[in-house]
């Protein structure tokens, strides 16, 4: 990225660095875990800019997080000139909603209560457009993916196949957005995200004794390790394929757990997520540029995941150590 483009990010980068101080850091997470009452745990979030949740219920939690996410993107949309930087993080809910709508149609039932906000497309409007078979307001990649998933599920009755199609479309759109943003850092993030998805698929497939035919349907092109290489690899070969990757530790753990019945994947899953956080955390040290924006947006997503883990765990009566085991590394 040119020096001139870097200067375009000067003001927003300074603002992002200030906003990072309000992220849910380790100390705040510990206070949420150790709080005597659930309401006290939720009040910690007001320090991070979240509204008062009132009575803490699953519904209230999701409403609070959805509003915070919508406010974040609305706030940054006027400050970040390169919209693709935001849309990379906004398109995931759209593909979740596509899966809900495609499956709901196949089941002949209304699944709109499962739709989520925070994406590029208003979920209610998306549902209406889907029912009219008119998705002209959506991106070409999204529209093609939905059409293929809809056709495949109708022909085969297999919701897993339609999910695979939408997952591929999601990653294809991420890669297209990263190229549009003209950011090597964002392209690196997308490639690493694809590597994570493919590594997870390989480990799970190996544990289920699934072969190459299955992997060829699931694996996504565009990662640093080619999908065609992974499709023919045994589970115990994964560590070698990712040896020089940020996922080297996760791949070694996954290789050791790739046999059926070889133990829980908790550490493996955490190491995958931590590798992405480490990559993005390096961008925090960049004074100005797109890197702090990308890192902060991911950090906010991770923050909301941590909030769900802590509050849902507290509501379920889990002890503090169990909740801590499920948490990921924080940003920075």
Q: Looking at the domain assignment, is residue 171 inside a domain?
A: yes
First to last CA, the chain: 23
Q: Looking at the domain assignment, is residue 299 inside a domain?
A: no
DSSP 126-172: HHHHHHTT--TTS-HHHHHHHHHHHHHHHHH--HHHHHHHHHHHHHH
How far, in Å, CA of 324 to CA of 272, rounded? Answer: 17
Q: Looking at the domain assignment, is residue 78 inside a domain?
A: no
- Among 29, 297, 317, smallest CA distance to 186 is for 297
Q: Looking at the domain assignment, is residue 125 inside a domain?
A: yes
Residue ranges for the chain with pLDDT beneath 50: 1-2, 4
Supply the pLDDT for residue 328.
85
Q: Looking at the domain assignment, is residue 117 inside a domain?
A: yes
Q: What is the pLDDT of residues 33-61, one digit of tens each?
A: 999 999 999 999 999 999 888 889 998 99
Mean pLDDT of the chain: 90
Under 8 Å CB-to-CB from 237, ≥6 apart: which residues?
255
Q: How many domains does the chain have?
A: 1
Supply the pLDDT for residue 4.
45
How far are the Cα atoms of 91, 114, 146, 152, 262 from residue 139, in angstroms, in the given order?
Answer: 10, 22, 11, 20, 42
| Unique residue bearing structure tokens 């910690």 | 44
Q: Looking at the domain assignment, is residue 302 inside a domain?
A: no
Supply the pLDDT for residue 165.
96
Which string of b and e fits 265-295 if b means at least 16 CB within 10 Å?
bebbbbbbbbbbbebbbebbebebbbbbbbb
- Among 312, 320, 332, 250, smallest CA distance to 65 is for 312
Under 8 Å CB-to-CB from 203, ≥6 apart: which residues?
235, 238, 254, 255, 257, 258, 265, 268
> pTM for the complete prediction?
0.88
- Among 23, 16, 15, 7, smallest CA distance to 293 is for 16
The domain containing residue 120 runs over which residues? Answer: 83-181
CATH number of the structural domain spanning residue 146: 1.20.1690
Q: Looking at the domain assignment, is residue 8 inside a domain?
A: no
Q: What is the pLDDT of residues 245-301, one digit of tens each?
A: 999 999 999 999 999 888 899 899 999 999 999 998 887 777 778 888 899 999 999
């Amino acid at each position: 990225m040119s020096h001139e483009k870097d200067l375009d990010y000067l003001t927003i980068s300074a603002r992002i660095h200030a906003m990072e101080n309000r992220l849910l850091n380790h100390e705040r997470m510990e206070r949420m875990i150790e709080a005597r009452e659930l309401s006290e745990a939720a009040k910690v979030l007001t320090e991070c800019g979240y509204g008062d949740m009132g009575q803490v219920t699953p519904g209230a939690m999701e409403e609070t997080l959805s509003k915070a996410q919508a406010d974040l993107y609305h706030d940054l949309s006027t400050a970040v000139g390169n919209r693709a930087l935001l849309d990379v993080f906004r398109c995931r809910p759209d593909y979740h909603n596509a899966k809900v709508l495609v499956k709901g149609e196949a089941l002949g039932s209304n699944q709109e209560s499962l739709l989520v906000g925070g994406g590029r497309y208003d979920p209610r409007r998306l549902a209406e457009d889907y029912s009219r078979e008119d998705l002209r307001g959506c991106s070409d990649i999204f529209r093609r993916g939905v059409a293929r998933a809809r056709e495949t599920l109708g022909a085969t009755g297999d919701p897993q196949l339609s999910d695979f199609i939408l997952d591929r479309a999601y990653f294809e759109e991420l890669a297209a957005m990263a190229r549009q943003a003209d950011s090597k850092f964002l392209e690196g993030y997308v490639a690493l995200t694809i590597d994570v998805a493919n590594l997870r698929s390989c480990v799970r497939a190996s544990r289920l004794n699934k072969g190459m035919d299955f992997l060829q349907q699931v694996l996504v092109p565009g990662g640093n390790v080619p999908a065609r290489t992974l499709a023919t690899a045994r589970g115990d070969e994964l560590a070698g394929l990712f040896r020089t990757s940020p996922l080297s530790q996760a791949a070694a753990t996954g290789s050791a757990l790739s046999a059926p019945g070889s133990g829980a994947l908790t550490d493996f899953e955490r190491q995958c997520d931590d590798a992405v956080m480490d990559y993005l955390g390096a961008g925090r040290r960049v004074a100005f540029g797109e890197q702090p924006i990308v890192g902060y947006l991911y950090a906010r997503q991770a923050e909301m995941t941590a909030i769900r883990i802590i509050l849902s765990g507290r509501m379920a009566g889990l002890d503090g150590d169990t909740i801590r085991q499920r948490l990921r590394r924080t940003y920075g």
